[in-house]
Amino acid sequence: MAAPPAERSFDVIVVGAGIIGSCAAHAAASRGASVLLLERFDLLHQRGSSHGESRTTRPTYTRPQYPPMVRLAHRLWHDAERDAGYTVLTPTPHLDLGPRDAPAFVAAIANGGATELAPAGDASRPAWAGAFRVPEGWAAATSGPAGVIKATKAMAMFQTLAAKMGAVVRDRTEVVDVARQGEGNTIVVKTASGEEFHGGKCIITVGAWASKLVKSVTGADLPVQPVHTLVCYWRVKPGHEEELTTEAGFPTFATYGEPGFYGTPSMEYPGLIKVCRNGGPPCDPDGRDWATGTGAGGIAEIVARWIDEFMPGVVDTAGGPVLRQPCMCCMTPDEDFVIDFLGGEEFGKDVVIGAGFSGHGFKMGPAVGKILAELALDGESGTAAEAGLELEHYLIGRFEGNPMGNATSH
């Protein structure tokens, strides 16, 4: 067989240009590797899980594996901002609210080094604390580093930096197969249009399409379920518009319970604040009902009830949210990431996958992307080891014989 032309041969091929794939491409290119980043749709499209105006970042997690990854990611966010010459992360405080004795809330506060909010009348209590009503038996705690990430802008930043380092970025290129060529070390990536690209290594980061692609490539079932969620922006009540902004030091915030809720300061749209519910109903990324959650009894109504209980004096729920933006989260049964080699006799350590980021992976994008790039290029991640990150927690094998994975230990 004739050798492929040089423009179709790369050290690393990254399939999927959401935040994780864009960060992985950037990390591999920064090592001097020749990189191809392939995206099925238009770059910065709104069909997946990485688009939108904002994402939160916070250090409080019920599972101790994540705060060190958040700290690593913050350092890498700032490194990328320095190289790009502009910012995508606006620092804010973070506020957690939850039942005082709830194990998840207690664990998150401890793991994130949070401090309980001072009582009313205490001079150290921040002015914004009055925006929240804390129910009897609940507690509120603040922590950092935290902030608001401009999502689409951040994705574009890493794609641009990767391209500046020599990476080739191609959109409207759907990958339909990944295979090893004969007995050699070449990974062949085939597209729907019949093109073939050859790489020494491959990184798969296709988000909501991960289960479908892995099934078609290996025949294995990857337990990643896309769910439809709704991002809602609500009107701030007159007279409070300036109080709820990042400039005023208003925090990102989250609650513990089923379901959980979260929000960001008024930033993207003046006079509006983002308040949302975690999760949503299962969906097929190729056949979504974009209106899910907008009708009677849907996600928006559930969020409105939460606002009326927790932020009644400052956020107006009459008439529902001003803006609704559909999105997807890609959930594993235990809500932990998948970071692993695709493995098997065919791929060994030459194909790496990052998937199942379960609604909280965006903030860790630069860290996960660098880890995936190192796994592909080196077969291990020195960065993870230096940061004290235990990657065994994220292996696909945790689901073998145990469909709930790590959930049994939480």
pLDDT of residue 5: 62
* pLDDT surpasses 90 at 399: yes
- For 4, which DSSP code? P
What is the pTM assigned to this prediction?
A: 0.96
* pLDDT surpasses 90 at 295: no
What is the DSSP secondary-structure string of 366-407?
A: HHHHHHHHHHHHHSS-HHHHHTT--GGGG-GGGGTT-TTGGG
* pLDDT surpasses 60 at 3: no
In percent, how much of the chain has pLDDT > 90? 90
* pLDDT surpasses 80 at 338: yes
pLDDT of residue 185: 84
pLDDT of residue 96: 98
* pLDDT surpasses 90 at 100: yes
pLDDT tens by residue, 141-176 = 999 999 999 999 999 999 999 999 999 999 999 999
* pLDDT surpasses 90 at 98: yes
pLDDT of residue 4: 57
The rounded mean pLDDT for the chain is 95
Numbers of helices and strands, H then E, in the chain = 9, 18
Compute the average pLDDT of residues 344-359.
95
Tokens of 281: 């109903």
**Nearest Cα to Cα of residue 166 among 12, 364, 368:** 12
CA distance 77 to 86: 11
Q: Report whether 12 contacts 376 (CB < 8 A).
A: yes
pLDDT tens by residue, 53-70 = 999 999 999 999 999 999
Q: Where are the domains of the chain?
A: 9-50+152-222+334-399
CA distance 232 to 183: 52
The owner of tokens 């630069």 is: 366
pLDDT band at 1; cut points 50, 70, 90 = very low
CA distance 383 to 405: 25
pLDDT tens by residue, 70-87 = 999 999 999 999 999 999
pLDDT of residue 303: 97
Q: Which of 29-33, 223-227, 291-295 has the lowest mean pLDDT?
A: 291-295
pLDDT band at 408; cut points 50, 70, 90 = low
pLDDT band at 193; cut points 50, 70, 90 = very high
* pLDDT surpasses 90 at 320: yes
Contacts of 4 (CB under 8 A, 6+ apart): 196, 197, 198
**Nearest Cα to Cα of residue 199 among 6, 352, 12:** 12
CA distance 205 to 319: 38
9-50+152-222+334-399: which CATH topology?
FAD/NAD(P)-binding domain (3.50.50)
